[in-house]
Structure formats: structure tokens, C-alpha cells
Amino acid sequence: MSWNNQGGGPWKSPGRGPWGQGPFGPPPTGDLEEIIRRVQEALAKLTPGGSGGGGGKGFGGRGALFLVLAAVLLWFAWGTFYTVQPSEVGINLVFGRYTGKTAAGLNTNWPWPIGSVIKVPVWDQQITEVGYRSIGASADIPEESQMLTGDKNIVDVHFRVNWQIDPAKPEDYVFNILNPRETVKAVAESIMREVVGLKTIDGILTTDRASVEADVQKRMQDLLNTYRAGVLVKQVQLQSVDAPSQVLSAYRDVTAAQQDQQRAVNEAETYANKVVPEAEGGAARIVAEANAYREQTILEAKGQTSRYNQIYEQYKKAPGVTRERMYLETMEHVLGPMDKTIVDSNSASPPVPYIALEPLQSRTGASGK
């Protein structure tokens, strides 16, 4: 016998077994005997001589007993074996009491009404949507999606939870929670509100989405483990996070202004990063040039001092010769770059007055070059 856990299992009342007791309570002793007695009476009526007297009474009793035994064997053989699909785990019950779980394949259990089997699809991926529905006319459900952030702003949060039944503890999923889907949805919405309440609106709209998803998944799993719900939370995905539709346009304007402000700040920082190094480089170059000029001036002054000291030493040894040499060097330094013609007035043959000296000087200069 296969059934699911929606609506309280094989019995209608939550926490009640097929005999009116809890899933682990003792069964009454008279019900099985009553069922067997009724089956015997029904079979006796169907057999020849089952309802009459006379000589056929003994044959009818033996035939009824044979049919009862055949029915019991058929009932036992037919109801004992059952198949579990690869994506399922079987939960065995005997008189409503949990006795163990079975893997995929052919398995056995007591037939109904003594035993029953719950086949739980543990490998099927379940999806719970909060704040919206992907199927149906209502794309947004404000009572689920509107949440309050830590800085007292309202945001619309649409998200989905991917989960599955824990293959290691399917009995917890079957027996410990009455409505698993609603429980997972309630836990997801509650945890998401808690996490969003710890974030600012700017963070949850931009950089904190990944951390919100991971935090919600961990908190959900911890809480469901506390409930012993037998549920594994595989993933939490934020589908959309936005300001409420009533103020969405105004919020987008504020966001655009903040982006413009940030862009202006970035441009100013870029300009500063360009200008400041250039100014620092120029200042360093000026300081280096000043230091070089100072060193050059000091070295030149030291060189001049040393030269004059050497000249003075020579002057003390031979003042006349030194003065003559200094005079000649000075004249050479002063008159050297100038165009000049030296005429010895004491010469016996002075130059002819009409000879042009300038062409001669130009030609001499050109040949010297």
C-alpha cells in the first residue's frame, strides 16, 4: 500500500494511526479476528451447502475452510511484495508503527491491513517560491514579498528555495511535520525577513545579495534540523530585490543621483591622482636642479680658489713673470673672439693704404673654419 504524507498520512487525523492510535501505539486485538470471521461467513455463503443443512454441511465447511486458506495465501503473497522506485525510499509500518526503511528495488512487508508502506520521493527536487508565483496570474504577493531593512526601508524580495527530503531521515519528514511544504515556506519567509532586517537597503540591492542567500540557507537548515523535519535546503536564490512599486521611480531617481555623485567623486580622484604625481615630480625636479646648481657653484668656487692660490704661489716666486703672463692671458681671453688686424707702426714697410683688410679677414676666418 502506497500513500503520501499530505493531509496526515494513511489516517485522516494528524498523529492518529489506522487503528485510532498514534503511529507508534498498540493495535486493538479484536479487529483482526472480526475481519477473518466476516471473510469466512462471506465465503461460506458462496460455497455449495454453505447456507443449508443435511449431508452437504460437512463438505461446505471443508470447502469454506479451503477457500479461506487459499484467500489468505493469495492475500499474503500479493500484499507482501512491493517495489520502490530509484528516486524513492520506502517507509515500513506494522500496525501503524514505524519498523524501518527500504531502498530502491523489490522489498517485502506485512500485507494490508497488518502492514503498510509509505514511498517517499527523496531525490525529487522541490521548489518553494516566496513573494511571487511563477505559475498563475499573480506575479507578486505583497504580503509575502514586502520586508523591512535594517535602515527602516521597505523592499520587495522575490526568492525561491530548492530543497529535497533528506535521504538519511525520510521518517522525520513523514512523521514529524504535518504539512512539509507550508512548513518550508513559513521557515523561508521568516528567516529571509530576519536576514533582510540586518542589512541596509543599499547593500541588499547591490553587494550583499550573495551573502544574504548563503546566510538564509544556513539559518533555514539549522532551524529545520531543530524541527527534525527531514529536509535538506539545497539552494536559496534571490529572484529580484526592488523598492516598492509605489516609490520605485523616486528611488531610481535617488539611485541615479547617488551614481552621479559617485561618478563625480571618481573623476575628481582620478584627476587628483594624475595632477598630484605630476606636481610632486616637478617639485622633485626643481629641488634636484637646485641641488645640482649648488654643488656646481660650490665646486667652481673651490676650483677658482685653488687656481688663485696656485697663481699666488707662483707670483710670490716670480712677480714680474707672473704679471706678464697674467696680462697676456687676459688679453688673449678678451681679444681672442674679436676680429682684429695688428699693424706694426715701427715696421720699415707699412701696409699700402688702399689694401682692403676686411676681405682678407673674412677669407682668413673662412679658411680657419
Lowest mean per-residue pLDDT among 25-39, 86-100, 183-197: 25-39
Please provide residue 237's backbone torsions phi and psi, each rounded to the nearest 5 degrees. Answer: -125, 125
Task: Tell whether the model's pLDDT for residue 59 goes beyond 80.
Answer: no
pLDDT, tens only, 136-170: 656 788 888 889 998 888 888 999 999 999 988 89
What the block records as the C-alpha cell of 312 is 699666488
What the block records as the C-alpha cell of 199 is 542589512
What is the value of pTM for the model shown?
0.52
pLDDT, tens only, 7-50: 433 333 444 333 344 444 444 444 556 766 776 676 566 555 55
What the block records as the C-alpha cell of 332 is 688673449
What the block records as the C-alpha cell of 215 is 546566510
Which band of pLDDT confidence, cut at 50, 70 and 90, is reported for residue 332?
confident
CA nearest neighbour of 5 among 135, 165, 150, 151: 165
Q: Go through the domains of the chain in sequence order and give each one's CATH number.
A: 30-120 (no CATH), 126-242 (3.30.479.30)
Question: Are 111 and 82 in contact, with CB atoms under 8 Å apart?
Answer: no
- Checking phi first, is residue 58 left (phi over 0); if not, alpha (psi -120 to 50) or beta? alpha
